[in-house]
Amino acid sequence: MNVEDRAEELASDLGVDKEEVKDDLENLVSYSVPLEEAVGSLRRKYGDSDDGGGTAPPERDVTEITTEDDGVTVSGVVLTVGKRSIQYQGTEQVIFEGEFADETGKISYTAWEDFGIEPGDAVRIENAGVREWEGNPELNLGERTTIAVDEDVDVPYEIGGDRPLTELAPGDRGVNVEVRVLEREHKIIDGRDGETEILSGVFGDESTRLPFTDWEPHDEIEEGASIRIEDAFVREFRGAPSINVSEFSTVRTLDRAVDVTEEAPRMSIRDAVESGGLFDVEVVGSAIAVRDRSGLIERCPECGRVVQNGQCRSHGAVEGEDDLRTKVIVDDGTATVTAVLDEALTADVYGGGLEDAREHARDAMDRDVVTDAIREAIVGREFRVRGSLSVDDFGATLNATAFDACEDDPADRAHELLAEVGR
C-alpha cells in the first residue's frame, strides 16, 4: 500500500482532511520513518484512541501508579517545577522536573517539553509514561502527553518549593531557599565546554548549613549576603545533600539578614547514620576505642594519604610528612561512628602539638607512645562531637569540626547530687 492509499484510509478513519494527512505522512516518510510507524504516529497526533488495538491509558490515583503501568492519566496539583539542562543521547536538552500530587499521594515527574506548568496548577495529565526513578515510579511527560486545566483539589502537601535547609534531600528539584552565604570561593573546573568557572561554598539558614555549587556564577552570591534562590536542585555530595544553583535559577538579594543557627542539629548516632549523610551534625557519645594509625602519622606529600612503612598506596616509596590525627570510635548506645580529628583537635586531646609529639616519640624511640597518650586521655569519657557525616560500605565517618568533653563529668554530677540532697 502506498502513501496515497494510506493517507486516504487514515483521513476517513480519523475524520480529517486527506491532503493534510498526506502531507504529514510524506514528511515523516521523507525522514526515513517506516510507513506503518508514521501511520501510528499520525493516529496519535489526530487523537485516535484506537491506536492499532491499543486502549486509552487508565485513570489512576497517584498511589495506584506502578512501574508496571505503560501509560496513565492522572488529575491533581503541580507541587514543584524545576528547570534543568541535561546531556541526553549526546545533545543538550532542557527538561522540567518536580513533584505532582492528588489527595492520595505524590509522585515525581520529568517533562521533556515545556508544558508551561507552575506550582499550584490544578491539571489533568493525559497519557503520561511511567518509568522507575530511584526505586519509585515517576511520570514521564513527553510528546504523547497532554496537560489540561482541571478542577482544583485539596492536596495534603505544601505547594511550591520553599524549604528550610534541613528539609532538603538529594533528588529534590525546583526548590527555593532563603540563606546567608557563609563561605564562597571561585573554582575552575574542566566542564563540558572546556574550562569553566564555578562557585562553591556554604549556605546557612535558621535550621542548618549546607554546601552549594553555582554552575553559572551569580554576582549576588557573595560572602555575607542574604539571598533568595529560586529553582535550585539538590544532589548528593560526599553523602550529604548539596544545593545546586544553575543557569535557570534566579538569585536575588534580600532586604533582611537571614539568621544562621550557631548549632548543628543534635541527633542519635543511629538516626544520623540512617540519614545517609549530613553536612553538619552533633552527636554525644562515649569514646570506646582509638583506632590504629592514630596519633603521630606520616602522610604522602603528593596525595595526603597516610603512609605505612614509607609506602603510599598510590605513589610507592615516599618521604612522608608528619601529621597528627585521631580516629576514635564513638558509641551513644544506638550505634557507633568513627570520628576523625584533625591536627588541631588531636593536639587538644593529646595536650601538645606536632613538635611535642615528635619529641615524645623520639625520647621513647616509639611513635606509638603518642597514640597511647591519646587513648588514655579520651577512652571511656563522653564527648560532644560535631562535624560532617558520611556513610559508605566501610561504615560511618564523622569528620569532626569540634570534639568537646561533656561538662557534666562525674565530679560535677556528684556536687549536683549533694546540693539536691542538702535541700
- Give the pairing of strands 136-141 and 122-133: antiparallel
Residue 285 in contact with residue 330, Cβ under 8 Å?
A: yes
Residue 138 in contact with residue 93, Cβ under 8 Å?
A: no
Which residue reads 501511520 in cell numbers?
39
Query: Using CB under 5 A, which of the segments 14-22, 192-200, 217-225, 308-316 binds Zn ion?
Result: 308-316
Among 11, 39, 147, 312, binds Zn ion (CB under 5 A): 312
Query: Nearer Cβ to Zn ion, position 153 or 303?
Result: 303
Query: What is the identity of the amino acid at 162?
Result: D
x-marked contacts with Zn ion along 218-257 as a string, rule CB under 5 A: ----------------------------------------
Distance of CA 87 to the CA centre of its chain: 19
Instruction: Kindly state whether residue 86 participates in binding Zn ion, applying the rule CB under 5 A.
Output: no
Query: Nearer Cβ to Zn ion, position 52 or 301?
Result: 301
Start-to-end C-alpha separation, the chain: 104
Smallest separation (angstroms) from Zn ion to the CB of 308: 11
d(CA 321, CA 266): 36
d(CA 56, CA 59): 9
- Minimal CB distance to Zn ion: which residue? 300
Question: In the window 313-332, what residues touch Zn ion (CB under 5 A)?
Answer: 314-315
Query: Nearer Cβ to Zn ion, position 251 or 318?
Result: 318
Query: Nearer Cβ to Zn ion, position 34 or 316?
Result: 316
Query: Nearer Cβ to Zn ion, position 288 or 303?
Result: 303
Instruction: Kindly state whether residue 302 participates in binding Zn ion, applying the rule CB under 5 A.
Output: yes
- Burial pattern 211-247, b for ≥16 Cβ within 10 A else e, equals bbbbbeebebbeeebbbbbbbbbbeebebbbbbbbbe
Query: Using CB under 5 A, which of the segments 146-154, 270-278, 311-319, 377-385 binds Zn ion?
Result: 311-319
Instruction: Kindly state whether residue 301 participates in binding Zn ion, applying the rule CB under 5 A.
Output: no
Smallest separation (angstroms) from Zn ion to the CB of 297: 13
Question: In the window 281-300, what residues touch Zn ion (CB under 5 A)?
Answer: 300
d(CA 402, CA 92): 44
Question: In the window 108-147, what residues touch Zn ion (CB under 5 A)?
Answer: none
Query: Nearer Cβ to Zn ion, position 315 or 381?
Result: 315
Burial class from Cβ neighbours inside 10 Å (0-12, 13-18, 19+) for residue 401 reads middle
Query: Nearer Cβ to Zn ion, position 301 or 395?
Result: 301
Query: Using CB under 5 A, which of the segments 37-45, 139-147, 288-296, 304-312 binds Zn ion?
Result: 304-312
Residues 140-145: contacts with CB within 8 Å, 24+ apart? 140/109, 140/110, 140/112, 141/109, 141/110, 141/111, 141/112, 141/113, 141/115, 142/111, 142/112, 142/113, 143/112, 143/113, 144/44, 144/71, 145/111, 145/115
Query: Using CB under 5 A, which of the segments 65-73, 155-163, 310-318, 348-356 binds Zn ion?
Result: 310-318
Smallest separation (angstroms) from Zn ion to the CB of 321: 11
Query: Nearer Cβ to Zn ion, position 13 or 322?
Result: 322
How many residues of this chain bind Zn ion (CB under 5 A)? 7
Query: Nearer Cβ to Zn ion, position 178 or 298?
Result: 298
Question: Cβ neighbours of residue 91 under 8 Å, at least 6 residues apart?
Answer: none
d(CA 62, CA 153): 13
Binding site for Zn ion (CB under 5 A): 300, 302-303, 305, 312, 314-315
